[in-house]
Amino acid sequence: MYGESSKHDNLECILQDQSSKPSAVSLNFLKEITNNFSDERVLGKGGSGVVYKGVLQSGEIIAVKRLEPSMAGSQSLFQNEVDHLMRLQHPNIVRFRGYCHETVWLYTEFEGQKVFAEISEMLLCFEYVPKGSLDVHLSGGSSEFDWHTRYKIIEGICNGLHYLHDQIDKSILHLDLKPANILLDKNLAPKITDFGLSRQFDQHQTISSPNRVGTLGYMAPERIDEGIITPKSDIFSLGVIIMEIITGHRHYPGVSGTSSEDFIELELKKWRNTLEKAQGYTNLEMDCEQIKRCIQIGLICVNPEWTERPTTTKIIKMLQGLESLDRNISDEVESSADQVSQMDSKSTAIALGLLKKESCLLKIHYVLGYWSKLKEGNQNLGKHRFLLQWLVTAYMESCCTLKTELLWR
């Protein structure tokens, strides 16, 4: 008993020491601090597992993520996530504290018989980030966020992604960047989390994967349609998130056919009206210019052509106003509209019908450009099943931010 207590004390010390490296933690200890993984301690649930609140004897809270052992590929996902998390240390990346991988035997029923089943318990420990995930705030309209807070969140996400892509020896692609995987600390500083789908990447390579894994609405079109993976996959996701943070909700107010120029002016007008009503506001023109720049960056990031999207280095410079936005974004949208007008009437009806309700600039900018590619050379529509499935699903869900994570085969 004394030995067990001493061991737990050592684990407490390791988890409380901000300078210690992530280390192995016992399953019994994690059961103890989460009250045996009770429902009352649940912080959140995702496609890969459940996150619990762990309370140390000192009163400090840590987050304990328990992976779902029955999920296909869970062992490799766990190994992948630990490998990558061990290398990361940045203010905008959630801090990794420890891990647990133990095998337990359960006497249970299987196909009408009682058998012993071997269960692999896989858990990850992180710093506790009290304000929760960004998607919760966005779904509420983020009315509590003024522009400076939103800009700080955008800037922090960009810095975190820049670190992953360009500031460590072997670059890491996140590949599931979305508001649900961005946590906010007590000061509303963003921290990127959930590296289960992340991949190590050589900047000079392009990966082609037969499996499409990720979250619809945030996956880049080339991943959905062709399985292409590059750093620009994350850039597309970043662009979607930037647009959501600026508009404050998931459903963009754009109407089918709206140009980027009109969209920018509409959002700028809304923000100008909001800022003018703020008591004692003195930086109106400066902030409006910053808002316009962020919208433009978001639109550039969701360019349907992945080779045209900027790097994180360029995005940081554009955010800081150190590099001009030298792309005519409105021309890109108008070009897509021209391509649509050249489609045969049946394809046009399908495309616009799917986009008519709850449409947004992202869908127009992204989908119409790709629909023209689909029609190019009278290609077989069956070859583009991933894009077509995304279109139908996005329409049925009436938004661009499906929370369902799918394994595309």
Q: What's the pLDDT at 47? A: 72
Residue 1 has pLDDT above 50, yes or no: no
Specify whether the CB–CB gap between 158 and 234 falls below 8 A. Answer: no
Which residues are marked as active site?
Answer: 176
Give the pLDDT band (50/70/90) at residue 150.
very high
CA dihedral sign of residues 313, 88, 192, 306 = positive
Q: What's the pLDDT at 402? A: 36
CA distances from 133 to 43, 287, 377 (A): 10, 26, 44
Q: How many domains does the chain have?
A: 2
Residues 98 and 163 in one domain: no
Residues 121 and 174 in one domain: no
Average pLDDT over residues 305-315: 94
Specify whether the CB–CB gap between 260 and 333 falls below 8 A. Answer: yes
Residue 89 has pLDDT above 90, yes or no: yes
Which residues lie below 8 Å from residue 164, measured CB to CB, with a gap of 6+?
88, 93, 171, 172, 173, 174, 192, 234
Assigned domain for 170 exists = yes
User: What pLDDT, in 10s, does the model give residues 104-140?
Assistant: 888 888 788 888 888 889 999 999 999 999 998 887 6
- Give the residue from 127, 147, 171 where a domain finishes: 127
Average pLDDT over residues 139-163: 88
User: What pLDDT, in 10s, does the model give residues 355-401?
Assistant: 443 344 445 445 545 554 554 554 544 444 445 545 544 444 444 33
* Separation CA 197–CA 408 (nearest Å): 13
User: What pLDDT, in 10s, does the model give residues 329-368?
Assistant: 544 444 433 433 333 333 444 444 444 433 444 454 455 4
CA distances from 226 to 207, 223, 243, 368 (A): 10, 6, 25, 17
Range of the domain at 175: 134-408
Residues 113 and 195 in one domain: no
User: What pLDDT, in 10s, does the model give residues 40-50?
Assistant: 999 988 777 89
User: What pLDDT, in 10s, does the model give residues 258-286?
Assistant: 677 888 888 899 999 988 887 677 789 89
* Separation CA 300–CA 315 (nearest Å): 10
Q: Which strands sit side by side in the sheet containing 61-67, from one edge to the other?
A: 23-24, 96-110, 113-127, 61-67, 49-55, 42-45
Residues 224 and 245 in one domain: yes
Q: What's the pLDDT at 49? A: 87
Residues 212 and 165 in one domain: yes
The annotation status of 269 as a binding-site residue, yes or no, is: no
Number of residues assigned to the chain: 409
Residues 84 and 175 in one domain: no
Q: What's the pLDDT at 326? A: 55
